[in-house]
Structure 1
Amino acid sequence: MSQSAHKYSLTTRIFIGMIAGIIIGALLQALFDDNGDFRFTVLGFELSTYGILVEGIFSTVGQIFIASLKMLVVPLVFVSLICGTSSLTDPGKLGRLGAKSVGLYILTTAIAVTLAISMGLLVSPGEGLNMTSSETFEATQAPSLSQVIVDMFPSNPINSMAQGNMLQIIVFAVLFGVAMAMTGETGKRLGAFFEDINTVILRLVTIIMNLAPYGVFVLMAKLFATIGLETIGGLAKYFFLVLAVLAVHGFVTYSVLLKLMTGLNPIFLMKKMRDTALFAFTTSSSSATLPVTMETARNKLGVGNSVSSFTLPLGATINMDGTAIMQGVATVFIAQVYAVDLTLGDYVMVVLTATLASVGTAGVPGVGLIMLAMVLQQVNLPVEGIALIIGVDRLLDMTRTAINVTGDCTVACIVAKSEGELDEVAFNDPAAGLSKEEVDFEHFDKNR
C-alpha cells in the first residue's frame, strides 16, 4: 500500500468512500433519468451505460464485498466462542454472561420501543394523511417462542454452519468449548489450535477492513442511483422522526446506561464505534458487520475475549433496538393514517410484543417486517399498512443497523466491566487498536 494511502485513517477513508458513492449515485440517477440512458449493441446484446455501471460494476463489486464479510462470520463466531468458553475456569460464569447479556438486550429494546411510541404520539407523523398504496404486504408467519427455543439446538451442526443459523452455532460452540475445558490436557492442546486459527481469522478481518472504503463506495453509489428523493417526500415526517429517535437512543440511552452501570466515559465508546457504525450503515446487516464489531470491542474497547465472543454474536442475532424503534413509530404512524385510536393498553401491548419478538423471531429472514406485522396484528391494525413505509425502509434499515451494533458493543462493555473482563486502559486510550487498522501489503506479500 502506498505511503499516501496511510495519510488518512480508516474512518476517514470509509467516510470519503461513502460520500463519493452518494454523489456518484445521485449524479447517475440525474443523468440517466427520463430515458437519458445511452444504449448500444455488442455481439447482439443490447447494453446501456447505466446498466453497466449500476447493475454491472457497482452491483457486482458490492455483492463481493458483502459476501467477503459474511464469509468470516461463521468461522469467526465458532472459533472465537470456543476459545472464550474453553478458557472459562468458573462454570457459573457462562450462566452469568448469558443472563446479563440477554437481560440487557431486552432492557434496551424495551426502552427503544417505549421512546419511539412516546415520540410518535408527540410528533404525530401520520396526522391528516390519507395515504393509499397499490402495494400489498403479506406477512410471513413467525414461529412461536417455544419453537424458537427448540430450534436453538442443532440436530446437524455442520448444516447449521452452512445455513448460517447463528443461535444454533452459538449453542454448539458453547457446548464444544465447555467440553474442551473439562477434558484436561487434550482440551488444552485443542485450545491452542483454535487460538492459532482465531489469530489468522482476525488478520483476515483486518485485511478486508482495509478494502472497506471501496466496498462502501460501490454500495452507496448503487443505492443512490436506484432510490430517488421523491420516495422520501411523501413520508418525510415519518422518515425524519425515525432518524431522530434512532439518534436519541444511540447517543443518549446507550451513554446513560454505560455511565450509570460502569462509570465509563461514553464519549470514548462513541468515537471508537465510528468504523463499525459506518460498516453497519452500508451493509445493513449486523451479522455481516460482526467481524468488525468484534475487532472493535476487543482491540479498541478492551472487552475480554470470553465476553466478546459470547455477547456480540448473541447481540447480532437478538438485539434489535433499531427495528423496535421503527416498529414503535410505524405503529403510531399507521394508526394515525387509518384513523384508528389506540388505547394505553394497546401501546403497552406494542411494547411487550416488540420486546419479546426481538428474541422470538431471531434468525428469521425479513425479521424487521415480520416483527412489525406481528405488532400490528396484536393491536388490530391493517398489516397492509406496511406497504406505505416500504419505500423508505431501505435507508432507515441502514441507520437501524448502525444503532444495533452500537448497542451490542455497549452491552458488551457493561457485561465485561461487571465480570472484571474489561481493560479500562485500552478503553480510555484513544489510540488503542488503531495500529491494527492498517495492513502493510508490501511487507505482507514479501513474507507470505
Structure 2
Amino acid sequence: MSQAAASVTPPRRMALHTRILIGFLVGTFAGVLCYWLGRDAQWLSLIVTYVSQPVGQIFLRLLLMLVIPLLFSALVLGVSEMGDLRSLGRVGWKTLVYTVAVSAIAVLIGLVLVNVLQPGAGMPDETRSALLEGSAERAKSVTAQSAPPSGMEMLVQIVPDNVVRAAANGDMLGIMFFALMFGIALVLTRTPSTDRVKEFVQGVYDIAMTLIDKVIQLAPYAVACLLFTLVAKLGWSILWQLGKYVGVVLLALAIHQFVVYSLVVKVFGGMSPRVFFKGVEEAMLTAFSTASSSATLPTSLKVAEEKLKLPPRIARFVLTVGATANQNGTALFEGVTVLFLAQFYGIELSMVQQVTVLGVCILGGIGTAGVPSGSIPVVMMILAMVKVPVEGIGLILGVNHLLDMSRTTLNVTGDLAAAVVVSRGEPDEASSRSG
C-alpha cells in the first residue's frame, strides 16, 4: 500500500443527532404531504399499518426490553458509588440530602409549569381518538385504568413481596426499591464476594449500555416512522404543541439554573452567584457541547479546584458521584415530558400519580446514565407505569438533542453547586472563597 493511500482517512460518519434530525424532518414532511393528499385514504392506512407503525413499535419494544436491566444496574451502581459514605461520614450524607432535595425542587418546577401552561392540551377529541385507535389494547388500558391506590396503599406497595413478579408485572417502583436496598447492602457489606457482585452488576450495566447504543443507532429510521404515523393523522398542529413543549422545558431549566442554583450557592454555600457562574463557565460550555455529564467530569474537576477553590477531597467525591447520581436537569426533563405526553394523549394524571412521577424522576436522576440520551429509557419506563402510550417518545426524540445539551448543562452546574454547598464548613475548606 502506498504512503498516500495509507494517509487517506475514511470519511467521518454523520453525527447521530444530525441523522435523527433528518429523520424527524423526513417523517414530518412526508406525514404532512400524505395528510394533505388523503388523510382517510386506504393506501395511507396500509402504509401506516404495515410499514411505519411496525418499525416504530419494534424500536420502542427494543428500548423497553432493556429498561429493567439498565435501571436496576444503574441505580445499584449509583448508590454503591457512595460506598465511601461511612468513611466520609458527613460529606456523604450532605451530598445525598442535597441530591434528593434539589432534584425534588427541579421536578416540582417542571410539574408546576406543565400544569399551569398546559403545553400538551388543546387537541380536539376526535383527533386524539384517531391517535389512540391504532393501538386498541393500549387505548383501552389508558381510558379504563383502575383507580390509583390511596397514599398508604401506594406506600405499602412500593415494597415488593416478590421482585421477580414485580419485574414481570412492570412494577417499576418495586424494582427501584429493591435496587436501592441492593445498592445500600453493597455499601454496608465489604467482602471479596460483594466486590465480585458489584463487578457483575457493572458488567450488566455495560452490556445494557452497549445494547442501548446499538438500538439508538436505529433512531433516525424509527423517528421518521413514528413522526410519519403521528403527523399523517394530525397534520401541522402537532408541531405547534411540540414547540410549546420545548419552550416549557427550556423555561423550567432556566429557572432552576439561574434562580435555584443562585439561591443554593449563596444561602447554603456562602458564595456569590456571580463568582460561581463565572467560575463554572468552562464546564457549562463543555457540558452543552458534549451533552454528557461523564465526558464533562475532567473539566468540572478542574474548575472546582482552580476557579472555585474547593477542597480537592470534597470536589472529587461530590463531582464523581454527581456525574451519575445528581442529575437535576434529567429529573426535570423526565417529569415535564411525562406530563406533556399525558396531556397530549388526553390522560389526566391524579395528584397521587403526579407525586409518584416526582418520586420516580428523583430516583431516575440517580439511575440515569450520564451519557447523551441516557434518560430516554427511563422516560419510557415512567410512561408505561402511568399508562401513557410510549409512541409519543417519537415526538421527543426529534427535538431531544437540544434539550439533552441544555439539561446536561444544568446537571453539571448542579454538581458544582453541590460541591460548593458540601464543602462549606469542612476542615480543609479554602479560606480564599469569595462572599
TM-score, reference length from structure 1: 0.56
- The 3-state SS of whatever aligns with 1:153 is coil
- The 3-state SS of whatever aligns with 2:231 is coil
* CA distance in structure 1 between the partners assigned to 2:18 and 2:397 by the alignment: 21
- 1:4 aligned partner, one-letter code: P
Corresponding position of 1:20:
22
- 2:335 corresponds to 1:320: yes
Query: By how many angstroms is 1:325 displaced?
Result: 6.5
Flag the 1:272–1:204 CA change in 2: closer, same or farther, 3 A.
farther
2:192 to 189, 192, 196: 189
Query: By how many angstroms is 1:153 displaced?
Result: 2.5
- 2:62 corresponds to 1:64: yes
Q: Contact 2:24/2:227 (CA < 8 Å) preserved in 1?
A: yes
Corresponding position of 2:134:
none
* CA distance in structure 1 between the partners assigned to 2:87 and 2:172 by the alignment: 25
Flag the 1:75–1:296 CA change in 2: closer, same or farther, 3 A.
same
* CA distance in structure 2 between the partners assigned to 1:417 and 1:101 by the alignment: 13
Corresponding position of 1:358:
357
- The 3-state SS of whatever aligns with 1:154 is coil
* CA distance in structure 1 between the partners assigned to 2:290 and 2:18 by the alignment: 12
Corresponding position of 2:80:
82
- 2:107 aligned partner, one-letter code: T
Corresponding position of 2:395:
395
Q: Contact 1:101/1:311 (CA < 8 Å) preserved in 2?
A: yes
Q: Contact 1:72/1:205 (CA < 8 Å) preserved in 2?
A: yes
Flag the 1:322–1:297 CA change in 2: closer, same or farther, 3 A.
farther
Corresponding position of 1:142:
148
Query: By how many angstroms is 1:220 displaced?
Result: 0.7
Flag the 1:88–1:413 CA change in 2: closer, same or farther, 3 A.
farther
Flag the 1:233–1:139 CA change in 2: closer, same or farther, 3 A.
farther
Query: By how many angstroms is 1:196 displaced?
Result: 3.1
Flag the 1:224–1:101 CA change in 2: closer, same or farther, 3 A.
same
Q: Contact 1:180/1:191 (CA < 8 Å) preserved in 2?
A: yes
The gaps in structure 1 that reach 5 residues or longer are 40-47, 277-292, 335-349, 371-386, 421-448
Range moving further from structure 2, 96-105 or 264-273: 264-273
* CA distance in structure 2 between the partners assigned to 1:105 and 1:205 by the alignment: 25
Query: By how many angstroms is 1:99 displaced?
Result: 3.5
- 2:75 corresponds to 1:105: no
- 2:106 aligned partner, one-letter code: T
Q: CA RMSD in A?
A: 5.5
- 2:335 aligned partner, one-letter code: M
- The 3-state SS of whatever aligns with 1:228 is helix
Query: By how many angstroms is 1:217 displaced?
Result: 1.1
* CA distance in structure 1 between the partners assigned to 2:204 and 2:71 by the alignment: 10
- 2:105 aligned partner, one-letter code: L
* CA distance in structure 1 between the partners assigned to 2:81 and 2:293 by the alignment: 14
Aligned length: 349
1:254 to 254, 257, 260: 257
- 2:158 corresponds to 1:156: no
- The 3-state SS of whatever aligns with 1:89 is helix
* CA distance in structure 2 between the partners assigned to 1:222 and 1:92 by the alignment: 51
Q: Contact 1:86/1:191 (CA < 8 Å) preserved in 2?
A: no
* CA distance in structure 1 between the partners assigned to 2:332 and 2:106 by the alignment: 15
Q: Contact 1:65/1:215 (CA < 8 Å) preserved in 2?
A: no
Q: Contact 2:27/2:225 (CA < 8 Å) preserved in 1?
A: yes
- The 3-state SS of whatever aligns with 1:4 is coil
* CA distance in structure 2 between the partners assigned to 1:253 and 1:313 by the alignment: 9
Query: By how many angstroms is 1:24 displaced?
Result: 4.1
The gaps in structure 2 that reach 5 residues or longer are 1-7, 130-138, 266-275, 302-317, 362-380, 424-435
Flag the 1:352–1:52 CA change in 2: closer, same or farther, 3 A.
closer
Query: By how many angstroms is 1:223 displaced?
Result: 0.9
Q: How does 1:33-432 map to 2 (within 5 A)?
A: 34=38, 37=43, 53-55=51-53, 59-60=57-58, 63-64=61-62, 67-68=65-66, 71-85=69-83, 88-90=86-88, 96-116=94-114, 133=126, 135=129, 137-138=143-144, 140-161=146-167, 165-183=171-189, 187-197=190-200, 199-201=202-204, 203-204=206-207, 207-208=210-211, 211=214, 214-228=217-231, 231=234, 233=236, 239-258=242-261, 260-261=263-264, 263-264=276-277, 265=280, 268-269=283-284, 272=287, 304=319, 306-307=321-322, 310-311=325-326, 320-323=335-338, 356=355, 358-359=357-358, 366=384, 395=395, 406=408, 414-415=417-418, 418-419=421-422
Corresponding position of 2:314:
none
Query: By how many angstroms is 1:320 displaced?
Result: 1.5
Corresponding position of 2:272:
none
* CA distance in structure 1 between the partners assigned to 2:242 and 2:228 by the alignment: 19
Q: Contact 2:297/2:323 (CA < 8 Å) preserved in 1?
A: yes
* CA distance in structure 1 between the partners assigned to 2:178 and 2:352 by the alignment: 29
- The 3-state SS of whatever aligns with 2:152 is helix
Q: Contact 2:60/2:391 (CA < 8 Å) preserved in 1?
A: no
* CA distance in structure 2 between the partners assigned to 1:224 and 1:408 by the alignment: 29
Range moving further from structure 2, 55-64 or 221-230: 55-64
Query: By how many angstroms is 1:189 displaced?
Result: 1.5
What do residues 231-289 of structure 1 show as CA deviations (whole Å, max 9, x unaligned)? 2645776554333222222345335434554535377447536676xxxxxxxxxxxxx
Identity %: 11
What do residues 299-342 of structure 1 show as CA deviations (whole Å, max 9, x unaligned)? 78666554556556997699614445678x98xx99xxxxxxxx
- The 3-state SS of whatever aligns with 2:156 is helix
Q: Contact 1:38/1:49 (CA < 8 Å) preserved in 2?
A: yes
- The 3-state SS of whatever aligns with 2:87 is coil
Flag the 1:84–1:314 CA change in 2: closer, same or farther, 3 A.
farther
TM-score, reference length from structure 2: 0.57
Flag the 1:310–1:172 CA change in 2: closer, same or farther, 3 A.
farther
Q: Contact 2:290/2:296 (CA < 8 Å) preserved in 1?
A: no
Corresponding position of 1:337:
none
Q: Contact 1:316/1:408 (CA < 8 Å) preserved in 2?
A: no
- 2:218 aligned partner, one-letter code: G
- The 3-state SS of whatever aligns with 2:15 is helix
* CA distance in structure 2 between the partners assigned to 1:176 and 1:267 by the alignment: 37
Flag the 1:260–1:84 CA change in 2: closer, same or farther, 3 A.
same
Range moving further from structure 2, 81-90 or 104-113: 81-90
Q: Contact 2:109/2:332 (CA < 8 Å) preserved in 1?
A: no
Q: Contact 1:17/1:213 (CA < 8 Å) preserved in 2?
A: no
Flag the 1:90–1:244 CA change in 2: closer, same or farther, 3 A.
same
